[in-house]
Amino acid sequence: MLIRFTLSLALTRLAGAVCWHDPAAVALPSFGYALERGPLTWAGLAPAPQYDACRLGKKQSPIVVYTRTAKRVDPKNFKMNITQYINSGGVKLENLGTTLEVHAGREHGSLVGVIGIEGEPYGPYRLENMHFHTPSEHRINDEYYPLEMHLVFKSGNRFAVIGVLFQLVSGSPPNNEFMHNLFLSVRNITRPGTSTITGTLDFRGLSNAIKTGPLYTYNGSLTTPPCTENVKWLVLGGTRPLHVDTYNKVKSVMKFNARYSQNAPGKINLLERARRIADGATVAASSELEPQSDVVLEGDGILVGSEGEEPMVPLLLDDEEYLATQNVLEW
């Protein structure tokens, strides 16, 4: 997942107002996914302690989600509304070098969105951006997928991110229009720093899939520097279809941008573990390879706090409150 620095974001907006296709309009991050800018070195790309969580954090993302033990959000307790700011025409898709991204806001070419989770002390969360990773960052029961979408939401300074995994299909698949339209002109933005306009995006199919779930949840981090923790993750258990031709177009532009799987939540950071081993330590692995021992499932769809978490303060998101949330969206 990616957040940009406030300053560069402000500059982007300014430049963006001048010309959407100006290469200078998109601010590019300094980290990468290969060689000396790759995920193993992220912590060193900024003066300490800015990116320290990337090498020391014990609740880092992405993780391998083991569905047998993962905690779920009951669909009954989950509300969401995402749409284009203006419903016709497309949205602005940017090549940030590290990802392809559509940002949210009250501008033509943006998205607007909100989620509310009943029983969750924070929120509602407002949409910040939608961006992609290939291959997928999260894995489900060890399996990876070719593409992952991140819908990044924020409430105050706390993030909530929905991860949606895509599976390849060929022929004339149903439910493929959204991704087809989204990446219609992706070949126009092969150069980092450029942007294009997508086809019209109808979020209903995607929204329904997310609302139906299962949504696996855990307390993790941003998957890009500064690797900030205390991020509420919601990973959709089922996959969405992606035509192989669309995928090949996206892959040729986005290249490779997935951080490696992090240790189970609460366990030692794998970089710290590797450092100790490089220093000559012998580290027993057996017990640490148990899947996510601090994430517990207590029956389908029951939201439970796991050990070490803050108690869940009930926040009833009744219809009236939800409507108020919606009104915020109706500019």
Toward ligand NAG, which CB reaches closer, 99 or 219? 219
Contact status, residue 208 vs residue 82, Cβ threshold 8 Å? no
Regarding 330 and contact with ligand NAG (CB under 6 A), the answer is: yes
Residue the block writes with tokens 């330590």: 281
Helices (H), the chain: 6-18, 53-56, 177-182, 204-212, 244-254, 270-278, 319-329
Regarding 326 and contact with ligand NAG (CB under 6 A), the answer is: yes
Among 41, 69, 77, 83, binds ligand NAG (CB under 6 A): 83
Among 77, 81, 110, 261, binds ligand NAG (CB under 6 A): 81
Distances (CA, A) of 120 to 125, 152, 231, 232, 258: 11, 17, 13, 10, 29
Regarding 329 and contact with ligand NAG (CB under 6 A), the answer is: yes
Q: How many CB atoms lie under 10 A from the CB of residue 190?
A: 11
What is the contact mask toward ligand NAG in residues 216 to 255, using x (rule: CB under 6 A)?
---x---------xx-------------------------
- The phi, psi pair for 143, rounded to 5°, reads -80, 135
CB of 312 to ligand NAG, least distance (A): 8
Regarding 307 and contact with ligand NAG (CB under 6 A), the answer is: no
Region near ligand NAG per CB under 6 A, out of 60-68, 241-249, 250-258, 322-330: 322-330
DSSP letters of 23-39? GGGS---S--SSGGGST
Q: Which pairs count as long-range contacts for 201-205, CB under 8 Å and 24+ apart, including other chains?
A: 201/84, 201/90, 201/91, 202/177, 202/178, 203/82, 203/83, 203/84, 203/178, 205/175, 205/177, 205/178
Region near ligand NAG per CB under 6 A, out of 128-136, 159-167, 272-280, 323-331: 323-331
Toward ligand NAG, which CB reaches closer, 145 or 232? 232
Regarding 196 and contact with ligand NAG (CB under 6 A), the answer is: yes
Q: How many CB atoms lie under 10 A from the CB of residue 323?
A: 9
User: 289 by DSSP, 3-state: which?
Assistant: helix
Toward ligand NAG, which CB reaches closer, 160 or 236? 160
Toward ligand NAG, which CB reaches closer, 185 or 293? 185
Among 197, 209, 268, 315, binds ligand NAG (CB under 6 A): 197
**H or E segment and range at residue 77:** none
Contact status, residue 221 vs residue 53, Cβ threshold 8 Å? yes
Toward ligand NAG, which CB reaches closer, 169 or 271? 271
CB of 264 to ligand NAG, least distance (A): 14
Among 69, 77, 185, 261, binds ligand NAG (CB under 6 A): 185
Q: How many CB atoms lie under 10 A from the CB of residue 318?
A: 9
Regarding 136 and contact with ligand NAG (CB under 6 A), the answer is: no
> Which residues ranging from 146 to 165 are in contact with ligand NAG (CB under 6 A)?
none
Regarding 309 and contact with ligand NAG (CB under 6 A), the answer is: yes
213 closest CA partner among 117, 307, 101: 117
Regarding 110 and contact with ligand NAG (CB under 6 A), the answer is: no
Task: Report the interface residues with ligand NAG, using CB under 6 A.
Answer: 59, 81, 83, 185, 188, 196-197, 219, 229-230, 309-310, 326, 329-330
